């Protein structure tokens, strides 16, 4: 009887379902992204922190992404597994996946917290924090307090897609929104009133994450589609293995991004030191701070893109499980068009209004070198953002279809082979500008591969026995 609650996923018009599921997911991810972005905006506009604090935020950001990578691997994998299971009538497996995912998230978060606290100085140095003494000091302070909140952050992020899979995308959105609202309120109080500096920004963030985690716990005690039982929390390796396999793409897309950011940060530190201007001690942190704010804008764009695609995971999974290949194809087409539209809008903003963007991140308090490099960074680094949006949609859609191998392959090619490879190679020929060229070069080449994969996906969706193939893939 429980499966009847989600029958509307194969009955309602695809466009209506996209709006119903994608919009709350987009808002959830945007609000989640605001945690770090809001911190950086307030830090940048605090005269006693400025670009040093901005650079420190850029150093620590990849380390929070590692926590996010583990969380979304569990959460997105569980979301896909639950949706596929419900579509195939396997409600017991859905409950076991949810219970196991809760347990594994707690284990992962505590382990990562211990590693971060034990090796904090070495880790910060690995991500470019030694660009100068002031940046390193701010990085250590910010990183320590952010690390204390990792268990709450990971739990909230992992449970967000699980809550969506249970049929409550609006609650998932509201829980994330509540935490971000707390962060936005406390940031200016702690940074400007109490003058707690980097610690203040981090503590405001952690308190917001605690709010989101508490709301997630409340929901899990009141699930509506998948009812959790005590036995669901006993670790089942076969269930958890399949769940993590479906989420491995989300993990690799995030953690490989960390590898790319580590490469970029270190190339900025190395080749910035060779630059006539940025080789000077007082300007050394500017390239890292600037690339950090460019990445923050890109994070906003990608939050919208991923939100559209991830919001469709329950719809895709259920329809694949039910053998409704035609509806899946229709959804894919509309999703790709929507993602390309977002990319076009982002392109217009970065190419024509970069000064507005850098003004939000405290450009008024910085030198002319900061402004000049920031304008160039926005225009070059994100000039192929349209392709980046389409690529990301293809990765996630394949994951939702149960094609973890193809999705993982595309993600790895983009982030590791191209992302890290070009970040290390191009600066050898173009200096500091080579770091900026690495992004568009990676997106163009990945798009050429994605076109082939998209064409093959359409061909499969035109075939028969979609549901049967999906069952085999899930097993």
**What's the farthest any 2 CA atoms get from each other in the chain?**
70
List the one residue out of 120, 430, 59, 83 whose CA is nearest residue 261.
Answer: 59
Torsion of CA 305, 310, 315, 321, to 10 degrees: 130
pLDDT for the residue 364: 66
pLDDT at position 6, please?
Answer: 67
Among 205, 363, 200, 242, CA closest to 294 = 363
Which pair of tokens denotes residue 11? 């009955």
What is the arithmetic mean of pLDDT over 211-230? Answer: 92
Q: What is the mean pLDDT of residues 427-444?
A: 95
Q: Which segments of 273-324 does DSSP mark as H helices, in order? A: 286-311, 313-321
How many domains would you assign to the chain? Answer: 1
What pLDDT score does 209 carry? 95
Q: Is residue 96 part of a domain?
A: yes
Residue 452 burial (C-beta neighbours within 10 Å; 0-12, 13-18, 19+): exposed
Which of 11-20, 279-288, 361-370, 430-439 reaches the highest mean pLDDT? 430-439
Reply yes or no on whether the pLDDT at 473 is more than 70.
no
In a domain, 3, yes or no: no
Q: Is the pLDDT of residue 436 over 90?
A: yes
Predicted pLDDT of residue 1: 35
| Residue 5 within a domain | no
Q: What average pLDDT does range 171-187 have in this prediction? A: 91
Question: Could you give the angle at the alpha carbon of 50 between the alpha carbons of 296 and 153, nearest 5°?
Answer: 45
Query: Does any domain span residue 1?
Result: no
- Using the predicted structure, report yes or no on whether residue 141 has a pLDDT greater than 60: yes
The pLDDT confidence band at residue 28, using thresholds 50, 70 and 90, is: confident
Average pLDDT of the chain, as a whole number: 88
Q: For residues 7 and 24, what is the distance between their CA atoms, to the nearest angstrom?
A: 20
Q: Quote the strand ranges of 24-71, DSSP E.
A: none
* pLDDT computed for residue 475 by the predictor: 42
8 within a domain of the structure (yes/no): no
Condensed to tens digits (0 to 9), the pLDDT of residues 75-118 reads: 989 988 988 888 788 888 889 999 999 999 999 999 999 999 99
The whole domain housing 398 covers: 14-474
Residue 186 lies in a domain: yes
Reported pTM: 0.77
Cα dihedral 103, 249, 266, 423 in deg (nearest 10): 180
- Strand, helix or coil for residue 390: helix
């Amino acid at each position: 009887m429980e499966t009847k609650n989600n029958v509307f996923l194969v009955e309602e018009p695809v466009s209506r379902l996209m709006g119903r599921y994608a919009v709350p997911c987009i808002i959830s991810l945007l609000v989640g992204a605001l945690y770090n972005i809001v911190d950086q905006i307030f830090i940048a506009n605090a005269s006693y922190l400025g670009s040093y604090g901005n650079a420190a935020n850029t150093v620590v950001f990849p380390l929070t992404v590692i926590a996010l990578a583990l969380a979304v691997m569990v959460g997105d994998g569980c979301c896909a597994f639950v949706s596929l299971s419900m579509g195939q009538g396997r409600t017991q497996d859905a409950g076991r996946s949810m219970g196991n995912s809760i347990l594994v998230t707690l284990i992962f978060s505590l382990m990562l917290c211990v590693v971060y606290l034990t090796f904090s100085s070495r880790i910060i140095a690995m991500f470019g924090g030694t660009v100068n003494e002031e940046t390193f000091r701010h990085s250590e302070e910010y990183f320590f307090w952010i690390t204390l909140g990792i268990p709450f952050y990971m739990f909230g992020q992992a449970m967000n897609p699980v809550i969506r899979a249970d049929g409550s995308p609006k609650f998932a959105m509201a829980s994330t929104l509540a935490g971000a609202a707390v962060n936005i309120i406390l940031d200016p109080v702690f940074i400007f009133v109490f003058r707690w500096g980097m610690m203040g920004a981090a503590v405001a963030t952690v308190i917001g994450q605690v709010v989101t985690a508490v709301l997630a716990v409340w929901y899990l005690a009141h699930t509506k589609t998948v009812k959790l039982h005590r036995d669901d929390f006993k670790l089942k390796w076969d269930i958890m293995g399949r769940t993590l396999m479906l989420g491995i793409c989300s993990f690799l897309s995030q953690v490989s991004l960390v590898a790319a950011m580590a490469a970029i940060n270190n190339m900025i530190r190395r080749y910035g030191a060779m630059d006539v201007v940025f080789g000077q001690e007082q300007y050394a942190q500017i390239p890292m701070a600037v690339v950090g704010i460019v990445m923050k804008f890109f994070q906003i764009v990608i939050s919208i893109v991923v939100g559209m695609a991830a919001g469709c995971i329950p719809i895709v999974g259920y329809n694949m499980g039910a053998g409704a290949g035609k509806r899946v194809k229709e959804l894919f087409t509309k999703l790709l068009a929507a993602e390309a539209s977002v990319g076009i809008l982002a392109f217009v903003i970065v190419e024509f209004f970069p000064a507005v963007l850098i003004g939000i991140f405290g450009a008024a308090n910085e030198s002319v070198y900061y402004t000049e490099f920031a304008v160039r960074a926005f225009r070059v680094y994100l000039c192929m953002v349209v392709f980046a949006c389409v690529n990301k949609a293809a990765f996630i859609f394949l994951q939702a279809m149960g094609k973890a191998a193809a999705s993982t392959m595309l993600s790895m090619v983009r982030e590791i082979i191209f992302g890290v490879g070009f970040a290390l190679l191009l600066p050898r020929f173009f200096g500091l500008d080579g770091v900026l060229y690495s992004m568009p070069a990676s997106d163009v080449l990945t798009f050429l591969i994605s076109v082939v994969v998209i064409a093959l996906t359409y061909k499969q969706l035109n075939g028969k026995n979609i549901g049967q193939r999906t069952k085999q893939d899930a097993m």
